[in-house]
Copies of this chain bind each other. A is one copy, B any other.
Amino acid sequence: MNNFQFHNPTRIVFGEGTISRIGELTAHYGKSILLVYGGGSIKSTGLYDLVRKQLSASNVTVHELAGIEPNPRLTTVNKGIDICRTQGIEFILAVGGGSVIDAAKAIAAGALYDGDVWDFFTGKASIKQALPIGTVLTLAATGSEMNGNTVISHWEEKLKRGAGSSHLFPTFSILDPELTYTVPRNHTVYGSVDIMSHVFEQYFSLTENTPLQERFCESILQTVIENIEPALVNPNDKAARANLMWCGTMALNGGQISLGMVNDWASHGIEHEVSAIYDIPHGAGLAVIFPNWMKYVYKERVDRFAQYATRVWGIDAAGKTEDELALAGIEATRDFFTRIGAESTLADFGIGEEQLDRMAEEAVRYSAIGSFKTLEKNDVLEILRMSL
């Protein structure tokens, strides 16, 4: 276990009906707010009206930025920053999934920065302050509701980049599992893949002596695996939706499950290049890439992959070499993703070889990626080829 520091100030308000607290919680932070949301599903579900009504009752003045894209774009973030500056916005309320929350975070940082907000994503500047934000989560996936990370796409340049800061932790997040009942089947699947991928990036680590952290990771993986199919069979399954939601938050709340471990994040880096160009859902891209990353890197630490196979998938070790066990665990991962309905190849999205070289090039633009196994351009290219 390495040394670490941990501080997570986000207040979580979890459970059925907690949406009714949105007015009171928001009013505590500001009377002039920017409400950020996505493509309008919150209008068809009635959530929008509910939120607006609660905010009115708390005498909060609301400005709006609608239409956040599934891969939120810099141009949209800049629109939000303009509103914040011209309207004297004190607080940003994100109602949606990870894309909406990430956009809100970028707006919050950009609103208090004189330069171009993209500077934070290219490493040209670091975030020194941000407007406070709050979130109402509508998709179990991202963890963004309880961490300081944001990922934004520069659509014109086909770049997708992340930034992080302690100033970006939401002040509060409302997690009402009922709000996820209407999530379409495919996004329920992609969300769960995203959750599992967040855990993988932390769990497959070279850091020694982290037994509690490994078990926390395995706990989340097992719980997602148990709960995704019930949620697909019955989208209103209260228990399954609540478990998936809490797994998503715990999987990426400032790295708490893996404190003292070196994380990898190479698969996320590779996937970002795919969705930067092809605009596919993040979780869908991860389902394609992660099992191939696993196959490519598992020999770095066969023991961890063997442990994964036995503890998470319950694969019997008897009669198997450690290598066979490790491969069986990877196979189980791929089979599971396929069984729940995720795509397994880039071809499933009509993606061919054309841009592979560019994606590999961009993935290592600033440096080689990954820590479990350091990946240079050639390595990334190979993983992408395996994913075709």
Interface residues in chain A, defined as those with a beta carbon under 8 Å from any beta carbon in chain B: 1-18, 208-209, 211-212, 215-216, 218-220, 222-223, 226-227, 239, 242-243, 246-247, 250, 259-260
Contact = CB atoms under 8 A, between A and B. Distances in A.
A272 to B, nearest CB: 28
Nearest to A223: B212
B215 A219 contact: yes
Contacts of A223: 211-212, 215
A239 B1 CA distance: 7
A220 B9 CA distance: 23
Contact of A209 (B8, B243, B247): B243
A223 B214 CA distance: 10
A176 to B, nearest CB: 9
Given A209-B239, A212-B250, A247-B212, A3 B7 contact: no
B4 A14 contact: yes
B12 A5 contact: yes
A303 to B, nearest CB: 16
26 contacts: A1-B239, A1-B242, A1-B246, A3-B14, A3-B18, A4-B12, A4-B14, A4-B15, A5-B11, A5-B12, A5-B13, A6-B14, A7-B10, A7-B12, A8-B8, A12-B259, A14-B259, A14-B260, A209-B239, A209-B243, A215-B215, A215-B218, A215-B219, A215-B222, A218-B219, A219-B219
Contact of A7 (B2, B11, B246, B260): B11
Contacts of A17: 3
A246 B212 contact: yes
Contact of A212 (B209, B243, B260): B243
Contacts of A7: 9-12
Contacts of A16: 3
A91 B2 CA distance: 29
Given A7-B9, A12-B259, 7 more contacts: A1-B243, A4-B12, A4-B15, A15-B260, A209-B239, A215-B219, A215-B223
